[in-house]
Amino acid sequence: MSRKLRQDLHTLAGAYALNALRDEELRRFEQHLLHCDACVQEVRGMTETTALLGSAAARTPPPEMRAAVLDEVARTRQLAPAPPQPFVVTRSRWWQRGLVVVLAACLAALIALGAVVVDQRREISELRSEEQQIAAVMSAPDAEYVSAEPSEGVSVTAVASESMGSLVFTGQGLSQLDDQDYQVWLAAPDGSVRSAGLLTVGADGAVEPLLAEQLADAQTLAVTIEPAGGSPQPTSDPMMSMSIES
């Protein structure tokens, strides 16, 4: 049922890009976008397309408009730059609140994200994995890849295999931490959250693939920065999170 709903929402991408949604539907679709990387991607391409429809209607504006605009501009104060976007809104017990995610990706809708994914896939396969298990997840017939860039220069990839109940998480561009560790968490819908381990980040910012097994009902994967050695439960807000429900 909920999958049906999601699919239904997804078809609203066209109407959204045409600015043809209102009120409740608009709100619901924007909510949906927060959790669906593939939809964001699709909407982007469509918005570029509608912009071309827009400029196809170009016509010369009245000549006096230029002076009027420049005049007003000279009197108009600009907005201050937005504060650097936090990865995620600060709240405690984020894993119980359905998360305010800046980055989210839906494995369920998994649509090839284009070159990024292909590159990531190759990069992943080039990483020497000590554990055969990691290789097995990545080469599983039902392996699904999701990539995202939580911030400039940082990219992360999750590869999940439902049949194996496992997931491999990797990334690059992370800075090495002093006296702290990146810790990966899996959160279930009942609010429980468990550690999936600490990330090992190389001097070049590459993250060694991390294997998370027994995904079971895990719904969200998140990364926090914890005191060195990790914590039993997260003590800070996630720097990134992605939806992994199937």
Instruction: Using CB under 8 A, list all residues that contact other proteins.
Output: 11-15, 17-22, 41, 44-62, 65-66, 68-70, 72-74, 76-82, 149, 152
Taking the complex as a whole, the smallest distance from the CB of residue 100 to other proteins amounts, in Å, to: 18
3-state secondary structure 136-164: HHHHCCCCEEEEEEEECCEEEEEEEECCC
Nearer to other proteins, 42 or 226 (CB): 42
Nearer to other proteins, 65 or 177 (CB): 65
Nearer to other proteins, 43 or 199 (CB): 43
Taking the complex as a whole, the smallest distance from the CB of residue 193 to other proteins amounts, in Å, to: 30
How far is 86 from 50, CA to CA, in rounded Å? 30
Taking the complex as a whole, the smallest distance from the CB of residue 75 to other proteins amounts, in Å, to: 9
Nearer to other proteins, 14 or 197 (CB): 14
Nearer to other proteins, 17 or 160 (CB): 17
How far is 166 from 207, CA to CA, in rounded Å? 18
Q: Which of 114, 166, 108 is nearest to 138 (CA)?
A: 166
Taking the complex as a whole, the smallest distance from the CB of residue 29 to other proteins amounts, in Å, to: 11
Taking the complex as a whole, the smallest distance from the CB of residue 156 to other proteins amounts, in Å, to: 15
Q: Contact, 110 vs 143, CB < 8 A? A: no
